[in-house]
Amino acid sequence: MANALQQLADTGVAVWLDDLSRARIKSGELAGMVKHGGVVGITTNPTIFAKAIGSGSGYEDQVHDLALRGTAVGETVRLLTAWDVRAACDVLRPTASRTGGRDGRVSIEVDPRIAQDAARTAAEARGLWWLVDRPNLFIKIPATLEGLPAITETLAAGISVNVTLIFSVERYRAVLDAFLNGLEQRLANGGSLEGLESVASFFVSRIDVEVDRRLDAITGEGSAEAARLRGKTAIANAQLAYEVYEDALASPRWRELQAKGGRMQRLLWASTGVKDKAYDDTRYVVDLAAPDTVNTMPAATLDAVADHGRPRGNAIKGTYEAARSTFHDLQQVGIDFEDVVNGLEEQGLASFAKSWDELIASVTSQLEKAGAEVMPAGSVKPISADHQTHEAAPASAAPRQTTGSPSSMR
């Protein structure tokens, strides 16, 4: 493990990879990153899967088998993504065992198009938990106001949750409350808190992108102050979220749950790839290192940290007053932060919904390429006898096994 990554681990930072693909699994690359590269968890989202499955690499046999069965497009998408996540869970199973289930987690997201419907979201969470069938799974649920009850319901059912698309401290407080409600409801229903985990994915770099854009638009008397504030908002926002986490950790409400076996929801820093080349490409990792946090990084950021990152221990300690000062100064120059985060949540949901539609289109194309006929509503007419020229194999929901590939069997 690179020295910088080890230093992060020593500080209490869990290093996760924000990426997954069939090729990364089958090549053994993922196993290598876990064994030697310090990776102890994985996050995915619709955009990641749209890119991975859109490439077609490694998915051909399974798509062909599903086309033979006439599996509907939506179900095909879920079977393809569930296999990848299940296989990754198996790769990370030793990590999960070593950490008591705290790490070694892999996330799969509910359909982002239903993020405003709590009942459907909770139902999909239960379905995905059943489909992947691994104890080290996280179900990702967007932190929309309408979706907060789904977070509580899912945790109360004993399903571990990654709450995603959090942009503000105010929404994070609501997410923490939903988490605590979920644990309390589970206990009230006679359930156990053993093995139940959660992370709150707090988005970072997108904050600076949007606030910097607004600062750059300021002209005249306030332009110098606006320039000084560039690149300060995202880290200050995350620092204040960690202050809320520390307060919750010391609260009587949490202490009571902890005494009954609860484990606190950790903050996970997401969107940590630097978008502005004027900034150091490791800043959203080293500047947010703190005990009991998770940092999920795209591969390029992970490589950058391993190569030239310079962690300095707990970087958040003692930053809260300066962070509050940053927000005061932003308000003084006319930045409406509530408008910023509301817009980013809308954009994030729209982006994931678009990626989901692209994923559907990609799978549709691949099923048709395999010889199936896809109906307008997404149902699939199986491959006809004329198209069955593919290598003979049983029609199954699982990819055919090759030497060294992870087993999809339980």
Give pLDDT tens digits for 54-97: 887 889 999 999 999 999 999 999 999 999 999 999 999 999 99
- Measured CA to CA in angstroms, residue 372 lies from 130, 187, 390, 396 at distances of 28, 48, 13, 15
Specify the pLDDT at position 397.
52
Buried-state track 318-339, b at ≥16 Cβ within 10 A, e below 16: ebeeebeebbebbeebebebee
Q: Is 360 part of any domain?
A: no
The CA distance from 305 to 312, in Å, is 13
> What pLDDT shows up at residue 55?
82
pLDDT digits (tens, 9 = 90+) for 275-334: 999 999 999 999 999 999 999 999 999 999 999 999 999 999 999 999 999 999 999 999
- The catalytic site residues sit at 140
Structural domain boundaries enclosing 25: 3-44+96-354
93: tokens are: 């199973």
Rounded distance between C-alpha atoms, residue 176 and residue 245, angstroms: 8
As a whole number of angstroms, the distance between CA 315 and CA 44 comes to 27
Judge whether 81 lies within some domain: no
pLDDT in tens, 164-222: 999 999 999 999 999 999 999 999 999 999 999 999 999 999 999 999 999 999 999 99
Residue 373: inside a domain, yes or no?
no
Helices (H), ranges, 38-143: 46-55, 60-69, 73-91, 93-98, 118-132
Q: Are 248 and 256 in contact (CB under 8 A)?
A: no
Q: Quick check: 360 and 373 in contact, CB under 8 A?
A: no
Closest CA to 279 of 297, 301, 249, 263: 301
Q: Kindly report, residue by residue over 251-278, the tens digit of the pLDDT.
A: 999 999 999 999 999 999 999 999 999 9
Q: What is the total count of domains within the chain?
A: 1
The band of 41, judged by pLDDT with boundaries at 50, 70 and 90, is: very high
CB 340 within 8 A of CB 207: yes
pLDDT for position 384 = 73
For residues 374 and 372, give the distance between their C-alpha atoms in angstroms, rounded to a whole number: 6
b (16+ CB within 10 A) / e for 375-400 = eeeeebebbeeeeeeeeeeeeebbbe
CA distance 42 to 44: 7
Read out DSSP for 345-388?
Answer: HHHHHHHHHHHHHHHHHHHHHHHHHTT-EE-TTS-EEPPPGGG-
Q: What pLDDT shows up at residue 56?
A: 75
pLDDT in tens, 338-381: 999 999 999 999 999 999 999 999 899 989 988 999 998 899 99
Residue 121 has pLDDT above 70, yes or no: yes
**396 pLDDT more than 60:** no
In a domain, 72, yes or no: no
Q: Report the pLDDT averaged over residues 125-147.
A: 98
Per the domain annotation, does 178 fall within a domain? yes
Confidence of residue 13 (pLDDT cuts 50, 70, 90): very high
List the CATH number of the domain containing 257. 3.20.20.70
Q: Does a structural domain hold residue 395?
A: no
Q: Residue 407 above 60 pLDDT?
A: no
pLDDT at 377: 86
Indicate whether 90 belongs to any domain: no
Spell out the residues 6+ positions from residue 241 whose beta carbon is closer than 8 angstroms to its own.
166, 169, 172, 202, 267
pTM here is 0.93
Question: Under 8 Å CB-to-CB from 133, ≥6 apart: which residues?
Answer: 86, 410
Q: What is the pLDDT of residue 54?
A: 83
Report yes or no on 219 lying in a domain: yes
